[in-house]
Structure 1
């Protein structure tokens, strides 16, 4: 992890939106604007729970926070339904980039599963090309406002389906044309990365990087499989790695931590700097951190950060969780008393863990450091 160059960060007394951010875990079908969903749904003849943008946005947030997995998954039925054409994919991708830039993101990796967007006749390659053209249009629109942003696609395979090899080949086919990495997503529990072992081998043979959803809905076995079978360079969420950490408290004061012992798996993840793509608000919604407590105060991200894990902060699904990276940063400041030094380190962690080429990664790190150094 790169050390910040700022000696002492000033107090946080300004809008955190102005800070340059790096977004590594953000789903395209989880970040649509409610007004866009309504317009695209009308054109597609798709029925929505509401045709009022405010009410629809509220429905998505309440459904995702209902505690019902069925209702949570229903939210994606509506977003995916309006992303089945070139025009729909192009518009959603373009607006996604604009929304990232409005949040202060200067580099973002956008993950999505092309296999879910073929209902109206698009091929896998046509779907990827539509999204890429939308992303590039978004970058251009942001540039016209005097700002800069860089984005890349994380081509994702659904882990409960049978198209892993096909999607891996798709990702490699579009390298140097917008695709920067591979991912598997969907139902984690019961669908270990080992199901796609051959696909991950293919990616490794073609020197193409992978991040794997693991340690969210399933525990240590999923993380182990992601690292061994998936050759994951990053863990999508990965928060349940904390299950492999034993914390003993002082007998005289239960509030004082006495001894922290890392298991073999957690030691491996920490010592080799494998990035954790942690999504605080989403983790609470999905119950990924339920074992550690109910509220954000019980989220193990702070313990992982303090122990030296390569923690990065992300949104997961902006629409469903009703959050931005700025919101998540604010949440950390309010809950764990993080200061600008902490936010800088978390941002540099993400920049270092990105799937950018080394030269571009170094330039991104320098840009972020310079921005923080100029705050005072």
Structure 2
């Protein structure tokens, strides 16, 4: 093993994933199979390899319309309990093969009811798939149920999160276009979740700036920020010395986790390149940064590949990768005892073995 972690090395490391969309990580072959089974006829191609290429090209086109079209196809074939359970199981299997030991995967139940499923049936089908994944592959997967911020069903989805929190739903999220749809539109749902002692994260600071982050934290009480990239706008670097604004200082002081997704952030224009991604500065300033995939299909990525890109861009070593991973496990919505068990019993020993398995200790 070399001093710098390679992709193959990183795949062996026990990793934690907090921001991954179920409909953004479907296998192309599964999309084709489900399209044939359900009669879904809108796919651009029925060849799995060509379909993978189409998803990648559409996601990197710079066109928001084409990017959003990709999700219409994955959601389009995920309208039955059998399809949802299959996709959830395969998600768990794929993450386990990449070395992920704990994941929180999100999806919007309201987007999977067009063929007659109830919201409850959607949730139960996904939980069934995740449960099979744990039994067969050992990975722990918690579900985050998501409400779409441009719709008006957030209270229903929040109630689902509370109803199924002892069955595998670990929290709530809102997603969708930030501009024009501030999180405060769903304040009743967030207040309900707080009264019920439930966890929630909010997509903020990706497509919109500091006001989105400020509202998510100060008005809505978010436990975590989905992306949160634009917090960099509240940090000035003058002569090499960073100066934090009031909001950035608060986010760091309160240890509010940032669910950053480097490749996806570049695709959506939230960052220019991996080398220029705010994660580098935020890591140096000790923000509670976590590394995530967002949409594995659209971004053509895995969590190991996201880490490998950061290693290449910033020269990170095993200590840095462990720091990101422990951050993620600390920030998970799993019970404290489960987090502690994974940190002390799986993550730290796993990284220690990798770190010391070379010819000499890694710096």
TM (norm. structure 1) is 0.92
CA distance in 1, matches of 2:182, 2:120: 26
Deviation at 1:10, TM superposition (A): 5.3
**SS of the residue 1:99 aligns to:** helix
Is 1:30 equivalent to 2:12 in the alignment?
no
Counterpart Cα distance in 2 of 1:238 and 1:210 = 15
Distance 1:15 1:260 in 2: 33
Structure 1 SS opposite 2:242? strand
1:64 maps to 2:47: no
Residue 173 of structure 2 is matched in structure 1 by 183
Contact 1:200–1:229 under 8 Å retained in 2 = no
Matches within 5 A, 1:110-259: 110-142=105-137, 148-249=138-239, 257=240, 259=241
| 2:48 corresponds to which of 46, 50, 53 | 53
Matching residue of 2:257: 275
Report whether the alignment pairs 1:326 with 2:304. Answer: yes
Indicate the larger mover: 40-49 or 198-207: 40-49
Cα deviations across residues 72-120 of structure 1 (Å, max 9, x unaligned)?
0000000000110011101000000000101100000010000000011
CA distance in 2, matches of 1:10, 1:103: 21
- Is 1:346 the equivalent of 2:339? no
Q: Residue 96 in 1 paired to residue 104 in 2?
A: no
User: Separation in 2 of the partners of 1:92 and 1:33?
Assistant: 8
The SS at the match of 2:26 is coil
Counterpart for residue 313 of structure 1: 291
Runs of 4+ residues over 3 Å off in structure 1: none
TM-score where L is the length of structure 2: 0.95
Tell me, yes or no, if the aligned pair for 1:157 and 1:167 is still in contact at 8 Å. yes
In the other structure, the counterpart of 1:303 is: 281
Query: RMSD between aligned alpha carbons?
Result: 1.1
Indicate yes or no: 2:276 matched with 1:286.
no
Q: Cα offset for 1:11?
A: 4.2
Q: Tell me the distance in 2 between the aligned counterparts of 1:364 and 1:354.
A: 11
How far apart are residue 229 of structure 1 and its match? 2.5
Distance 2:126 2:19 in 1: 17
**What is the match of residue 253 of structure 1?**
none
Question: Residue 374 of structure 1 aligns with which residue?
Answer: 353
Q: For 2:120 and 2:15, how far apart are their aligned partners in 1?
A: 30
Alignment gaps of 5+ in structure 2: 357-363
CA distance in 2 between counterparts of 1:152 and 1:107 reads 8
Q: Distance in 1 between matches of 2:102 and 2:264?
A: 21
Asked whether the equivalents of residues 220 and 240 of structure 1 are also in contact (C-alpha less than 8 Å), the reply is yes
Tell me the matched-pair count.
351
- Partner SS, residue 296 of structure 1: coil
2:340 paired with 1:362: yes
Deviates more, 1:112-121 or 1:229-238: 229-238
Is the CA contact (8 Å cut-off) linking 2:19 and 2:104 kept in structure 1? yes
| Partner-residue secondary structure (3-state), 2:197 | coil
Query: Does the 8 A contact of 1:25 with 1:315 survive in 2?
Result: yes
Name the counterpart of 1:3.
none
2:5 aligned partner: 12
